[in-house]
Each structure stands twice: as structure tokens, then as C-alpha cells.
């Protein structure tokens, strides 16, 4: 049985998060998408020890630079 791939999409635009999530779901099998509207929400999930195989982020987030989020 294949392990589920877990991906977090962080973007201030709900439309962008939806489009990216749908593309990933259509192109990949057995994938779980977590959507976050800002860096604070993403950091809270990571602080709860949630693990992701991939995190995509916008460079310009409402509350923090996307590069700072990666650091």
C-alpha cells in the first residue's frame, strides 16, 4: 500500500490555493492537501508537529515574507 503524500499550500489568495490544490490532486494519486492563508497558520500547523512531504508558499504573504517562512 502506498503512503499518502502530504502537501501544504500557503498563499494569501484563496483562488490560488484552490487552483494549486486541484492541480496537485488531479496530477497525483493518494495526496492530502492542507491549505493555509498565511504564514501564522502554516507555522501553527508545523508547531503541532504536523509533517508534510512538500510545502509550497507564495513569496508575498499577508503577514510574512514567504522566504522567512521557509527559514
Predicted TM-score (pTM) above 0.75: yes
Contact 66, 10 (CB under 8 A): yes
Distance CA 49, CA 37 (A): 19
pLDDT at 34 (0 to 100): 98
Number of neighbouring beta carbons within 10 Å of residue 61: 22
DSSP assignment, residue 63? S
Q: What is the mean pLDDT of each run of 10 residues along the chain (71 residues)?
A: 91 98 96 97 94 96 92 88
Class of domain 5-70: alpha beta
Amino acid at each position: 500500500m502506498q503512503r499518502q503524500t502530504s502537501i501544504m499550500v500557503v498563499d494569501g489568495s484563496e483562488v490560488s490555493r484552490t487552483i494549486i490544490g486541484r492541480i496537485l490532486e488531479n496530477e497525483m494519486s493518494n495526496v492530502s492537501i492542507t491549505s493555509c492563508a498565511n504564514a501564522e497558520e502554516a507555522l501553527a500547523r508545523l508547531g503541532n508537529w504536523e509533517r508534510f512531504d512538500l510545502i509550497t508558499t507564495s513569496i508575498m504573504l499577508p503577514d510574512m515574507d514567504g522566504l522567512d517562512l521557509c527559514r
